[in-house]
Chain A
Amino acid sequence: MDRLECLRVLAGLRQDQLVFCHLGVTSSEWLYLSPGDHTFYMKSALGLVGSISLGFTAARPNRRVWALEGDGGLCVNFGSLLTIASVQPRNLTYFLLSNRIYESTGGQTMINHDLTDYELMARGAGVRNAFTFHDVDTFARDIPAIISSGQFAFVVLEIERSKQKVSVSPTEPVENTYRFGRYVEQTEGVTIFHRE
């Protein structure tokens, strides 16, 4: 599947969901397709999309959240799969963008690239709702029901490099923290940042 086309499907379906986005090329493509303050971009800490999503959904159990993680990110923090499986928050959908390479660092082959079945590993960890998609049409047809189910879902997207290249200016880390945080304050009616 073309990654940009997969993300285009998700961007078209997003309503009030907040998004935590994997670093690298994925973040550029998501920013291009879904600009706004509703996404927190992981700038440098590889592998923490699932973890930060877990913390956010624990704090805001009534707000829907999407985690967009890369397979390189999951692999560097594989224990997080067990942690996420132990919680399976109802308001979280975890998307694993599996291109089987480290695209942002030059295309090096992902470890165990031809053998790993991420859906099977998620099910082995106890995840009840785990899916794998290999073509965009099937993904576009089936994903609306999954994201509106009110249940945790682990969705593997077997993708390849996008044919279209996008170029966007990324937000600075602290800028992103404040823009996302202010958006949460505004839409959730909570105070996040200390005020004098």
Chain B
Amino acid sequence: MGDSTASAKPIDPGRHAAELIRDQLIAAQCKLVVHVAESRMTGLYHAVHEDARFQKIYVAREEEGVGICAGTFLGGTRSVLMMANAGLQAAVHAIANLSIMCRLPVVMLIGNRGRFGDPIFYQEYTGQFTQPLLDSMQIPTMTIDTLDKVNLIPLAFDHAWVFKKPVAILLERETLDPIKKHYLLETKE
């Protein structure tokens, strides 16, 4: 036997996570993906974009995505709205007055920016307000902070369909960006 590690290709952790999530969307019978661009979810965007099993609709604003996903429910198909947590803030009215009020399930796959380990300072209030916003709207929330929890994603879809309400799946930094990097203060010798 030769040394198999010498010829093994290194795994791209971000790509691997994206493919695992994509596979769970398939397992959840998700047929349509609605997406607004988000930097940390770029790998997931490509995994979905390149997969002919999904129909894709790219929207200008996240509240459109709430409407589109509500429409797919009424048409008998499952869909997902992929966005950053900033999009959650943009979509509040649509979530409250369409999804919640009319009992139309919408599954939201949300990149949870502005939490521990996010180096982008302007994500402060997207991170700080996400959980209180979800709590105030009583939206059931599934937190995916390790890769082994990715296989719970179909349960979020089932929950939305059984209870006919919006459901949030929070993708934490550790799931999509497994390469840990600590931002240390520079010191001058």
Contact = CB atoms under 8 A, between A and B. Distances in A.
Contact of A174 (B57, B58, B65, B102): B102
Contacts of A173: 101-103
B74 A192 contact: yes
Contacts of A50: 67
A38 to B, nearest CB: 12
Given A82-B60, A87-B57, A52 B76 contact: no
A80 B71 contact: no
Contacts of B32: 55, 58-59
Given A83-B58, A176-B102, A51 B71 contact: yes
Given A52-B67, A58-B57, A79-B60, A44 B97 contact: yes
Nearest to A188: B76
Interface stretch (A27-35, A105-113, A149-157, A177-185): A177-185
Contacts of B71: 20, 51-59
B58 A86 contact: yes
B98 to A, nearest CB: 4
A189 to B, nearest CB: 9
A168 B70 CA distance: 26
Contact of B70 (A43, A55, A77, A79): A55
Contacts of B98: 42, 44-45, 48, 52
A180 B103 CA distance: 12
B55 interface: yes
A37 to B, nearest CB: 12
B60 A59 contact: no
A39 to B, nearest CB: 12
B60 A45 contact: no
A30 B70 CA distance: 22
Contacts of A44: 97-98, 101
Given A48-B63, A54-B57, A43 B75 contact: no
Interface string A158-185: 0000000000000001101100110011
B51 to A, nearest CB: 16
A185 B73 CA distance: 11
Contacts of B72: 55-56, 58-59
Contacts of B58: 83, 86
Contacts of A191: 76
A60 interface: yes
A104 to B, nearest CB: 15
A176 B66 CA distance: 18
Given A55-B79, A58-B32, A192-B74, A79 B61 contact: yes
B140 to A, nearest CB: 15
Nearest to B32: A58
Nearest to B78: A59
B133 interface: no
B151 to A, nearest CB: 21
A79 B79 CA distance: 20
Interface in A40-98: 40, 42-45, 47-48, 50-60, 63, 77, 79-80, 82-83, 86-87
Given A184-B76, A188-B75, 17 more contacts: A43-B97, A45-B93, A45-B101, A51-B66, A51-B67, A52-B68, A55-B34, A55-B73, A58-B57, A59-B31, A63-B75, A80-B61, A80-B67, A83-B60, A176-B102, A192-B74, A194-B164
Question: Can you list the 4 inter-chain pairs with the closest CB atoms, starting with the nearest?
Answer: A55-B71, A59-B75, A51-B67, A79-B60
